[in-house]
Amino acid sequence: MKVRELKVAGATEFTPEVYQDRRGSFASPFVASAFATAVGHPLFPLAQMSHSTSRRGTLRGIHYTRTPPGMAKYVYCPSGRALDFVVDLRLGSPTFGRWDATELDGDSCRAVYVPAGVGHAFVALQDGTLMSYLMSRGYDPDQELAVAALDRTLALPVPDGLPILLSDRDRTAPTLAEARFRGDLPGYRASIEAEGTL
């Protein structure tokens, strides 16, 4: 398992070995020992597993959970191809406002760990892109928040030429500055504490 620390503190990319032969391929996108060594704690107790399918150009996010309670995610793309983003929304974090991008697809079996308080977004690069999420908490719409993925101050590198599709929620999401002004952003200390209780 290859591990890469992302530019957002605590966010990590995992790339497993993919074994191929004439029958197809085999890979393990999650390995507990590699995760614990890289992140410093075992994977959170699994509360929910979800998946989404998306048309090419679908942009989902930047989504995050109010902290507390906070939610961590382990994200994987078993089929299709997506450009995945982690964005540090934690006030007081040494990497606040920074983001990193990882290409996820079914061939590489790469996965990304998104810690509590960190925002997550992706844009589907192919029709039928399937994204799978392991989550530390069940979905609670009253706790879910969003920041605009097309916020110019963040300048996420959404590829040119894609027919961008946004949900109404994502289209009307506040910018990072607006979310900060509203008091909607999580604190770094609260996020670290939430991470410790997962």
Phi then psi for residue 27, to 5 deg, are: -155, 160
DSSP string, 23-84: TEEEE-S--HHHHHHHHSSPPPPP-EEEEEEE-TTBEEEEEEE-TTT---EEEEEEESEEEE
Query: Is 76 an annotated catalytic residue?
Result: no
Kind plus residue range of the DSSP H or E element containing 120? strand 118-124
Query: Is 63 an annotated catalytic residue?
Result: yes
Out of 63, 64, 120, 188, the active site residue is 63
32 token code pair? 């507990």
Out of 19, 41, 74, 133, the active site residue is 133
Tell me which residues are annotated as active site.
Answer: 63, 133
